[in-house]
Chains A and B, each alone.
Chain A
């Protein structure tokens, strides 16, 4: 006998309790996450939702706003905490289902998925540990809260920056018993939006130094991603690991694995002395600009994606010219 799988979605929001966060407008609430209200209780989010104001179903926060950014400091990143609940009783009149056979977080597997995010993976682990093993028939079975960090976009030219968004997407499946012979599916979304800080996007305020900016704004966002230069995949990406905790030994004056770059005498980053470097013989620089004479030097980076913003390429250039220091500000990059 095969089970019918029904896909239904809905929107419901109801404030439940206000414990976790310091002040209004963020109020911890259970939100269904969208879809048909009849199945919306299979999985729900427990989060300090505040947007849109009339009917909150997501979190929106300016970087550093102590009312909603948990780190409370202007650092280019908003910190949110989100729990997931199974068999929620937040709206029993509409949905009283009790019985979940699986909850899956999208983009939670580091398998080359360009949308993979370790924070989705951490949420999946929480769900597996706190709501699993399945089936779970307990009412309001909730996870411990998981941290999410949303970095603003930028700053780029003239220190301009834009809001950025992370969207958590869940798929919850009911047990056959709960669905009375049918597997019901509840698809949920939660938007986490980080707005630029009220005072603007001065890099000197957002980052601790030039390397911190290079790491967080360039490497973390465009290079150390699934299938590329992260721990799981870097061996197949020129053996170049660009996660924060690997710097600087793998970059400074290291010979690239690319034979042609090696033949040209280039290094990954060429440091002449601690205060001087040479972008022209730094393979990393060529990879970002696309100045790659001959096919043997491989593709421009980030591979298959738009060229890095000119402002960031210039930050990289100035940083390398200054010897790629791991602390302090290089003039022109702050």
Chain B
């Protein structure tokens, strides 16, 4: 019995090793090779209008296109399905001139009516649970008081006119966001199926989806930009563990991956079969104070702690240098960034002075909430938490590290239970409003203003900036707001991280976009 079993095993092993050499490299269409993209999680759904997670947008960016789109590595606006556009002087009328002869993957025509139907689908749904992004970017749904879009009208077959109720400065940046991609009206009227079998105008067509495993898209042979895409298709493969994903790309089983552990960076750089891509930063990781809770209701205490944290040391130790120190709540790549703000320098004596002024000369005890999960802006929350803990000890502040499972953590921090906490934010549309107003305005206490920071002057500036369409005047207001926020120190902004991706050296033309999702339209594999 034993011998025969051994024999069978030996045969199987020999067979499999023998065949290792001659496994076929098929599956590539005539046009180009299929690229395998490894990532840490699956998409939730493939209807861009209803999802909010980055893993979904990574795929929908291939299938859909917007009227206007972001630049390859920035959030400047470029032509998309609209080849040009006019804006009226009062900032209330946007006229888009559409590309002609564009077809959806199901063969129906893309035209002005299709655009109207898409916006109608979102604005008339009044379903905030389903279409979460629309009301948050455009101030509500049709009929709501704050709704920005008064009317979307097809002037002729290839001209669409948007009328706004009030000027919205980031309007073009908003409609370039992944959730506002244009889908085939015929397909989404079909209902449920659209989220699993999406139909757009993009360079790739949806092919198949094995949940938590693989999503496959294939080249759209009738794509309106001639000669594109260069790839025959893309397969999005879920490998949850970062180290295992790196093993797969090292072995050549996948061609490109996101989510490299910063600690593996050196190993990858040594390997000449691999290349590293750096995503420009559009995020901020921070250490926040609950400004309603003593002693953090005192500005001096917050400033003192700001003087105690050595950001460069944190970056060197936990980000392997793949981040830059943050001094404002938004990253420098976003227009309106105030570079003249002087960061609180690392200075223990100054911190002691400030604490003395606040009456906490001998320090105090506090809870420090550390993030339980890795996020692009915070690869290891626990360890960064320990580093902050050690810094605070220098002035006699005893910090106890507290943590919860991620879902519970967010909920409790949002409810104001945490006296101090670590969190971060990745921008949606590359606009200052999406950082400053969303994270630090008094209107957003209870949602994303976790610090419960309230400053009337900041509020006035941010609201005024929302209405302005002149970019320079707007930026001045944001710069002013950053100065006040810096002085009040509701957070210690820690870092703007630059997430790292790894690809086989044969991958050409890939440029990671700051928003976290990008089209693979002109990527190729040698």
> Do A and B actually bind?
no
**Interface positions of A (Cβ within 8 A of B):** none
